[in-house]
Amino acid sequence: MAAAALAFGVTLAHAGRSCEPKLPTATNVQRAMTLAERTAASLNASGAQVVVLGRIGQDLSKYGQRYSHLGFAYRDGAVWRVAHKLNHCGRAHAAVYRQGLGEFFLDDLHRFEAGVVVLAPAVQARLLPVLQDNARLARLHTPAYSMVAYPWAETYQQSNQWAIETLAMSQEPAATTRERAQAWLKLQGYEPATLRLTAFTRLGARMTAANVAFDDHPNHKRFSDRIETVTVDSVFVWLQRSGLGAAPHVIH
């Protein structure tokens, strides 16, 4: 048993204290795979080719947020794949992955529930070829990662931020840099979430986690405890408000 536990975590184990390898329970594997199966069925029935898919990896309700992470799910023949950016076990960098719905939900979820936003047909049509193309998926990716990266800076890039910047690039041919992608997002009315994080919380987070940094935030916001970042909930609200996507629906 000890050997098994060790093996499960071995790839990510050098991540430091915020990375504690943990074996899932058999029940949670079943629940995650069942959610993946139901999500695939729901997406098949939707007729969509591309959706935004959110998961609940942690309880963020005290920050007014429901979902913790999003990716783009797209149809690839008979199956669905998810393009998303993942942080490596608490480390200060991250990478873009293409995974199955199974892997997307096999992540020690807080709630076994998915949020889906079907993008407008024209938006899907422009985004789909990007999701199939590794070079374009990588184009606006910045490896330096902070979980609370400022949306209007380029020092770091968290995973939801990579997603909407890549969305911007797919929709606007001129958005070939992160700066231009962010300009398009502003033009389209995207508004990040504002998290209230006290100095004490910020200090604790900075000192204990390699993947949290605040030095990219403007001082006047940071020192008034307002930390703006790209959250799934803020993206869902914006997509619907802007007409780029439909209202979110939930899959259990």
Partner 1 sequence: MTRLIRSMIAAAVLATSLGSAKAHPTLSDASALSLLPVAVSVAAPVMILSAGAALTVVAVEASAAGTVWVLERASDGVQASVTLAGGLSVAAGTAVVVTAFSTGWVLSAAGQAVAFIPNEIGRALLHNERVTR
Q: Give bridge partners of residue 74 from the DSSP assignment.
A: 50, 81
Q: How far is the CB of 231 from partner 1 (least distance, A)?
A: 7
DSSP assigned state of 245? B
- Judged by CB under 8 A, which of 42, 113, 132, 141 binds partner 1? 141
Whichever of 13 and 174 has its CB closer to partner 1, that residue is 13
DSSP assigned state of 167? H
Contact string (CB under 8 A) for partner 1, positions 66-85, x = contact: --xx--------xx-x-xxx
CA-based nearest residue to 161, from 176, 151, 169: 151
- Judged by CB under 8 A, which of 116, 118, 167, 205 binds partner 1? 205
C-alpha–C-alpha distance, residues 229 and 214, integer Å: 11
- Judged by CB under 8 A, which of 52, 114, 128, 159 binds partner 1? 159
Whichever of 85 and 246 has its CB closer to partner 1, that residue is 85
DSSP assigned state of 27? H
Binding residues among 120-139 for partner 1 as defined by CB under 8 A: 134, 137-138
In the numeric block, which tokens belong to residue 128? Answer: 């789909």
- The dihedral through the CA atoms of 115, 121, 127, 133 has a sign that is positive
**Judged by CB under 8 A, does residue 88 bind partner 1?**
yes
- Judged by CB under 8 A, which of 7, 125, 187, 203 binds partner 1? 7
Q: How far is the CB of 149 from partner 1 (least distance, A)?
A: 9
DSSP assigned state of 23? P
Whichever of 174 and 203 has its CB closer to partner 1, that residue is 203
**Judged by CB under 8 A, does residue 151 bind partner 1?**
no
Binding residues among 213-252 for partner 1 as defined by CB under 8 A: 231
For every residue of 89-131, DSSP letters joined together read TT-SBEEEEEEEHHHHH-S--SEEEEEEEEBPHHHHHHHHHHH
Whichever of 61 and 121 has its CB closer to partner 1, that residue is 61
In the numeric block, which tokens belong to residue 73? Answer: 């799910």
Whichever of 30 and 155 has its CB closer to partner 1, that residue is 30
